[in-house]
């Protein structure tokens, strides 16, 4: 074996070793974090990058929901932005499972901007699939695993984007921002279908 090939082999082994260490650390970090959400029966996850225009729709919806509605004790709405992967990983490992997971996100499906609609797991856009998969196992889909192995009801509600900037540019377009109350109404209807009693917060209560 030539010296060049030997050096390449050593470098390759080194990076594989480092990648393994990073992956183990990644898993351990998520295993020891505060897991209060694992006690919930119904979870609403607002997903998206708030620095990329309309992609921040999911987090904006959850913020609005928590500001203007009071959810029951067994229900939690979390603004997870682009960090849902770790939470789903913990849910896969946990003995306690929710009965319902709602994913709120923004997508481009060629529809009218601001449209609210539901998609199934197989319709998650390719650009978004990685958000719900482990880095070292790109073919795995944690949502599918939770649904198929644990029987959790998983619903994905999305909004058609109008504009996603090519570079950092926070802020929703008006048409997408105006869709937030409609999305909240859809979320509340689904939660009530699973027995949740959601109350609107009066201005005097805030």
Q: What is the pLDDT of residues 43-102, one digit of tens each?
A: 999 999 999 999 999 999 999 999 999 999 999 999 999 889 889 989 999 999 999 999
Radius of gyration over alpha carbons of the chain, in Å? 20
> In the predicted model, what is the mean pLDDT of the chain?
83
Q: Just give the CATH number of 36-205.
A: 3.40.50.1450
Domain map (residue ranges) of the chain: 1-32, 36-205
- Give residues with Cβ within 8 angstroms of 106, minimum separation 6: 48, 54, 55, 56, 57, 58, 158, 159, 160, 161, 176
Least confident of 10-24, 56-70, 125-139, 150-164: 10-24
- Whether residue 124 is predicted with pLDDT greater than 80 in this model: the reply is yes
- Residue 81, sorted as left (phi over 0), alpha (psi -120 to 50) or beta, turns out to be left
What number is the average pLDDT over the span 107-133?
A: 88
Do residues 172 and 53 make contact, with C-beta atoms less than 8 angstroms apart?
A: yes
Least confident of 39-48, 95-104, 116-125, 127-136: 127-136
């Amino acid at each position: 074996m030539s010296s060049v090939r030997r050096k390449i082999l050593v470098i390759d082994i080194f990076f594989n070793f480092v990648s393994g260490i990073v992956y183990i650390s990644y898993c351990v970090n998520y295993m020891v974090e505060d897991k209060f959400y694992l006690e919930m029966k119904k979870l609403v996850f607002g997903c998206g990058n708030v620095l990329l225009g309309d992609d921040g729709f999911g987090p904006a919806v959850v913020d609005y929901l928590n500001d203007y509605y009071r959810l029951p004790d067994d229900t939690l709405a979390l603004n997870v932005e682009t960090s849902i992967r770790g939470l789903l990983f913990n849910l896969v490992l946990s003995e306690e499972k929710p009965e319902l997971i709602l994913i709120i996100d923004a997508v481009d499906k060629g529809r009218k901007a601001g449209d609210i609609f539901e998609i199934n797991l197989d319709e998650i856009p390719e650009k978004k699939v990685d958000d719900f998969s482990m880095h070292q196992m790109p073919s795995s889909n944690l949502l599918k695993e939770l649904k198929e192995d644990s029987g959790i009801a998983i619903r994905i509600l999305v909004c058609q984007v109008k504009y996603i900037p090519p570079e950092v540019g926070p802020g929703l377009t008006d048409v997408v921002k105006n869709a937030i109350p409609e999305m909240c109404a859809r979320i509340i209807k689904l939660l009530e279908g699973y027995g949740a009693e959601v109350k609107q917060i009066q201005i005097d209560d805030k």
